[in-house]
A and B are shown apart, each in its own frame.
Chain A
Amino acid sequence: MPDKKWIPQPKRPRTPIPEQKPEERRRNFKEVALGYTAELAIQEAYRCLQCKNPLCVEGCPVGIDIPGFIRHIGEGRFEEAYYTLKKYNFLPAICGRVCPQESQCEKFCIMGKRFKPVAIGRLERFAADYFMESGKKEDFKIDPPSGKKVAIIGSGPAGLTCAGELAKKGHKVTIFEALHKPGGVLVYGIPEFRLPKRIVDIEVENLKKMGVEIKTSAIIGKLYTIDELLEEEGFDAVFIGTGAGLPYFMGIPGENLNGVYSANEFLTRVNLMRAYMFPEADTPVKIGEKVAVVGCGNTALDAARTALRLGAKETHIVYRRSKGEIPAREEEVQHAIEEGVQFNLLTNPIEIIGDENGWVKALKCIRTRCGEPDESGRRRPIPIEGSEFEFPVDTVIMAIGQGPNPLIQETQPDIEVKRWGIIKIDEEGRTSKKGVFAGGDIVTGGATVILAMGQGKKAAQAIDEYLKTGKWA
Chain B
Amino acid sequence: MYLIKEIKEIAPKIKKMVLEAPLLAKKHKAGQFVMVINTEKGERIPLTIADKDPEKGEITLIFQEVGKSTIEMGLRKPGEYIYDVVGPLGRPTHIINYGNVVCIGGGVGTAPLYPITKKMKETGNYIITILGARNKDLFILEKEMESVSDEFYQTTDDGTKGRHGLVTDELQALIDSGKKIDLVLAIGPAIMMKFVSLLTKKYNIPTMVSLNSIMVDGTGMCGACRVSVGGVTKFVCVDGPEFDGHQVNFDELLKRQAMYKDMEEIALKKFLEELKKKEPCGGCHA
Contact = CB atoms under 8 A, between A and B. Distances in A.
A224 B69 CA distance: 29
B23 interface: yes
Interface string B236-272: 0010000000000000100110111001101100110
Interface in A128-180: 178-180
Interface residues of A, number: 40
Contacts of B41: 274, 277, 280-282
Interface string B157-171: 000000000000000
A219 B221 CA distance: 12
B89 A246 contact: no
Nearest to B226: A256
A282 B238 contact: no
Choose among A188, A273, A280 the residue with the greatest number of B CB atoms under 10 Å from its CB. A273
Contacts of B217: 178-179, 268
Interface in A371-406: 405-406
Nearest to B253: A256
Contacts of B283: none
Nearest to B26: A223
A466 interface: no
B65 to A, nearest CB: 14
Decide if the interface of chain B is mainly helix, strand, loop or mixed.
mixed
A7 B62 CA distance: 72
B123 interface: no
A433 to B, nearest CB: 22
Interface stretch (A50-58, A110-118, A258-266, A341-349): A258-266
Nearest to A245: B221
B267 A284 contact: yes
Contacts of A281: 41
B88 interface: yes
Given A246-B220, A249-B233, A268-B217, A256 B267 contact: no
A68 interface: no
Interface in A175-225: 178-180, 188, 216-217, 219, 222-224
Nearest to B238: A407
A278 B43 CA distance: 11
Choose among B42, B219, B223, B255 the residue with the greatest number of A CB atoms under 10 Å from its CB. B223
Contact of A407 (B23, B220, B255, B266): B220
B255 A406 contact: no
A63 B89 CA distance: 41
A268 B255 contact: no
Interface stretch (B52-60, B79-87, B105-113, B142-150): B79-87
Contacts of B260: 284, 286
Nearest to B239: A406
A74 to B, nearest CB: 43
Contact of B86 (A180, A224, A265, A279): A180
Contact of A406 (B24, B220, B222): B220
Contact of B238 (A259, A277, A406): A406
A249 B86 CA distance: 26
A356 to B, nearest CB: 11
B27 interface: yes
A357 interface: yes
A269 interface: yes
Interface in A255-299: 255-256, 258-259, 261-262, 264-265, 268-269, 273-274, 277-284, 286
Contacts of A280: 41
B175 interface: no
Given A217-B85, A256-B226, A273-B43, A358 B252 contact: yes
A247 interface: yes
Contact of B219 (A178, A255, A279, A282): A178
B17 interface: no
A256 B89 contact: no
A269 B219 CA distance: 14
A274 B40 CA distance: 11
24 contacts: A178-B219, A178-B221, A179-B217, A188-B221, A217-B86, A219-B86, A223-B23, A223-B88, A245-B219, A245-B220, A255-B233, A256-B226, A258-B256, A258-B259, A261-B224, A262-B222, A262-B224, A268-B216, A282-B42, A358-B255, A358-B256, A406-B238, A407-B219, A407-B220
Given A282-B42, A283-B43, 10 more contacts: A180-B84, A216-B84, A219-B86, A256-B226, A256-B227, A258-B255, A264-B223, A265-B224, A273-B43, A283-B216
Interface of A: 178-180, 188, 216-217, 219, 222-224, 245-247, 249, 255-256, 258-259, 261-262, 264-265, 268-269, 273-274, 277-284, 286, 357-358, 405-407
Closest 8 CB pairs of A and B: A358-B255, A265-B222, A284-B263, A245-B221, A262-B223, A282-B43, A217-B86, A279-B267
